[in-house]
Structure 1
Amino acid sequence: MLLKELLYVLICTSISSAWGALPVTVYYEALCSDSVQFITKQLYPNYRFFKDHLDIEFVPYGKAMHTFNATSGKYKFSCQHGREECLGNQLHACALKQIKDKDTKINFITCVMSAENPSGRYFIEECSKKYNIDFIKLITCGVSDEGSKLLASNGDKTWNLEPNLYYVPTVVFNNSIQINQEDQRNSLSNFKMTMCKKILVESERPEVCNEIGLLERMRSFFSFR
C-alpha cells in the first residue's frame, strides 16, 4: 500500500510539472515581517522566471483564530498582530477574490506587502488604483459579512493543515494539506532553487535553472580542489 501511495505522489508531481502549472499555496499574514520578506525577496523576484510553471494561491490568515456566534450570525477574529492585521487579512482576501489574472494577483499582493503598512486602507487603495482593482467593491466586501466569510474560509483552510501551521509564512505545493518541512525550509531560503527541483522534465525548466546547475557544478569543482 505504501509503495502505491509513493508512486501516486511521484506521478502527480510529474504531471503537475510536465502538463501544467505547479500549485503553490502561500499562507501568510498582512503584518508579518517574515511574510513580507518571503513575498518581496523570494516569491516576487523569481516569479518572472516561473510564471508559466506556477499557479499561486495566497491565503491571508496565518496564526489567527475565529469563532462563529450563531445568535448574531457574526464571526469574531483574533490575529497574531492585533485587530489591524485581522482587517488587513480580510481586505487582502476580498481583493484576491476580485482579481482573476495571476500577474495582477502577485503584483497587487507584492505592492501591498511592500508598503509601510500592509493592512492600511490608504496603501491598499493606492495599490488597487495602480493595478485597476475596484477599491469601492474591495472595501465594501472588506467591512461586510462577505469579507468575514472569506477570512473564516481562509482560517478553515489554514487550520486544516497537518501538522498545524506554526510558522508564517508557510509554503505548500500541489494543493496538499501536509506541510513538507523540507519544501518549507527550501522555499523560504531559496525559492528559485526549489522551483527548479520541482520541475522534473528537464526540457521544461527555465534557462535560469541551467544557470543554477552550472554554478553548483562550479562550486563543487572548486570545493573538491
Structure 2
Amino acid sequence: MKTGIFSCVIFISGIIMAAPEKIDTNGLLKVSIFFSSLCPGSRKFITQQLYPNYEGLKHRIVIEWVLYQEDTGFDDVKFYCMHGSKECDFNRYIVCALNQGRGQDRDVKFINCIMHEYDFRNCLAKFGYRWSKFRNCIDQKGYSILSHHVAKVKKIKLRRLSYIPAIIYDDQDYENIDFLSLRKFRQTVCSKLVSPLPNICHKKVEKPIIKGLVLK
C-alpha cells in the first residue's frame, strides 16, 4: 500500500505479536497513536487531524501515546531513531513531559504545541508542566520510560507497524481503518462510537476550495 508523503516508512526486525497492554478505558474508545517527534507524517496527523477534532471527541476517547524508536541492544547508543539522535532526544523529552501525569487534555495541547514549534521550555510553561521535574526525568528516568515505549512497539506485528504515524483502535488490528484515520480521523472515530454521538460527528464535511483552479 502506498503511503504518499503522509507517513514515515519504517523497518522493524525481530518483532513478535504479544497481547496488547490493557488500559482502563471505562467504556471509552481507546486510540493508540504510534508516532515520532520529527516524523513529518506524525506532525501532520497531530496538528491537522487529531488536535482540530479533539475538543469535540475528548469525552468519548482515551488516548495512548506511543513514541516510536528501536532498541539497538548496545550500551553506548541505546535507541535508534529514523531521523537521527535528535529525534531520540525529542522523544525522550516528550515522554518525560507525559510522565508528569497532567491529564489527557493538557497532553494533547502540549504535543500539538511541540509539533508546531519544538520549543520545549515554552510549551511546558504554557500548559503548566514543571521544568525542574522535566529536567530531572530527562537526566534520570528518560531512557527507562522510552524502554517501556519500545516494549509497546514490539507488541505490534511486523506487517502492522511498517509506517508511522499508526493509529489503532481498541487494540484491534485493521490497517485499512488506520490509513483512513490519517486523512479522516474524526469520521473514523465517529464510525466506531455508539449512539448518542457527539455533536462533532454530525458536522458536515466541507469541500476544500482550490483557488486558481477551474474544474471542468
TM-score by length of 2: 0.77
Maintained 8 Å contact 1:99/1:133? no
Identity level (%):
31
Q: Report the count of equivalent residues.
A: 182
TM-score by length of 1: 0.75
Give the drift of 1:208.
2.5
Structure 1, unaligned runs of 5 or more: 1-15, 216-225
Greater helix share, structure number: 1
Residues 75 and 20 (structure 1 numbering): CA distance in 2 closer, same or farther, change over 3 Å?
farther
Question: Which of 64, 71, 90 is 1:66 aligned to?
Answer: 71
- Larger RCO (CA under 8 A, 6+ residues apart): 2
For residues 1-225 of structure 1, what are the structure 2 equivalents within 5 Å? 20-61=27-68, 64-68=69-73, 76-115=78-117, 118=118, 123-144=119-140, 146-162=141-157, 163-174=159-170, 176=171, 178-201=172-195, 204-212=196-204
SS state at 1:165 partner: coil
Which amino acid is 2:185 matched to? F
Partners in 2 of 1:20 and 1:100 — Cα distance? 21
- Over the aligned positions, Cα root-mean-square deviation in angstroms equals 2.2
Which amino acid is 2:80 matched to? S
Q: Which has the larger radius of gyration?
A: 1
Partners in 2 of 1:134 and 1:75 — Cα distance? 28
Give the drift of 1:211.
3.2
Maintained 8 Å contact 2:102/2:129? no
Partners in 1 of 2:89 and 2:148 — Cα distance? 15
